[in-house]
Amino acid sequence: MERPVRSQAPRLSGPHTPTPPLPSPLRAGTADGAFEHLLVLDAGPEHLAALARYRGAAPVRGVFTLTAGGRLLPRLRTELTRAETARLHQVLRPLGSASAAGDVLYVRRADLPLDDGDVRRLTGVRLAAEGGPGAALARFLSCLLDDPVPLGPPDELRLGRIALDLLLTALWRHLDAGSAGAPPDPRQELILRLRLYIEEHLADPALSPAVLAEAHHISVRQLHRVFQQQGATVASWIRARRLERCCQDLADPAQAHVPVHAVAARWGYRRAPEFTRAFRAVYDMPPNTWRRRALRAAGTVREADAGRPR
């Protein structure tokens, strides 16, 4: 009997360590009541909920869930079960209203490359959504609800990536700017710049501690010390982010015809055996098996495309 696809992505708060419970509540303030904020709320130790708010919005219409495979599943609020509705009220209760404007996006904690220090810095802060990525996320979710055409699995996966990237961009922008009224922390600014550089260069096989250190005008020793203070290593961070990107592509029905080794090469793995070893160490199965099960779980598997090793 085949085991189900493991739903847990590599933990990014530290190598091989569980993520501790998040502070509660994790949310932004609404002092001016203008509904022009991006709110991030605590939804338990494993999931976060981002509430995109914007001026003139109606009460919450939709709830979006970003699945372990990276698919974005939108549902109207009226489609929620009684238990889900109760959970939604629980998430919104810290705001003082169960009908706050905007749409709710649930994201797995493991899919956010934020460490515990980042989470603490985001607790109780205002994230602007009147412009930039916050506004883009608000409009993006709203437009999906306005579209009468239901999404198919390939669309759900691609749109899930967009939603996650918009949310991460909004969070990183706030972290990079520093907390209001507080002097910037050079160490925090450096780790954010390093992470952003890694995200932008994951596809480059030459990405290494030496390259990363040179690009930021620091020594390799200092680079390792910065990541050690975050409870991780440079190599483990890069590996986790590359594997996450590979998992997203392997779970994409539209890419079922792309060989596994090509997916690996796309995200910086020069040699297929190296990728297979790294993948198996995290997911306890080879990548072609993970792909077959992920596509089958999505109801789109074709044995001819996803069943044979590549």
Rounded to whole angstroms, the Cα distance separating 104 from 92 reads: 9
Token pair for 200: 């932008």
Hey, which of 4-18, 77-91, 166-180 has the most confident mean pLDDT? 77-91
pLDDT at 182: 53
Rounded to whole angstroms, the Cα distance separating 239 from 255 reads: 22
pLDDT tens digit sequence for 58-105: 567 788 888 766 788 888 888 888 888 887 777 776 655 544 567 888
Q: Are 128 and 134 in contact (CB under 8 A)?
A: yes
Q: What is the mean pLDDT of residues 182-206?
A: 79
Which comes out higher in pLDDT, residue 178 or 260?
260
The percentage of residues in the chain with a pLDDT greater than 90, rounded to a whole number, is: 21
Q: What is the mean pLDDT of residues 95-118?
A: 70
The CATH number of the domain covering residues in 186-310 = 1.10.10.60
Res 21 pLDDT > 50 = no
The answer to whether the predicted template modeling score (pTM) of the entire model surpasses 0.85 is no
pLDDT confidence bin for 31, thresholds 50/70/90: very low
The percentage of residues in the chain with a pLDDT greater than 70, rounded to a whole number, is: 70
Mean pLDDT of the chain: 74
How many CB atoms within 10 Å of residue 189? Answer: 14
pLDDT at 10: 32
Beginning with the edge strand found earlier in the chain, give each strand of the sheet holding 37-42 in spatial order. 72-76, 62-66, 103-108, 47-52, 37-42, 127-128
pLDDT at 208: 94
Res 240 pLDDT > 80 = yes
Domain boundaries, the chain: 37-177, 186-310
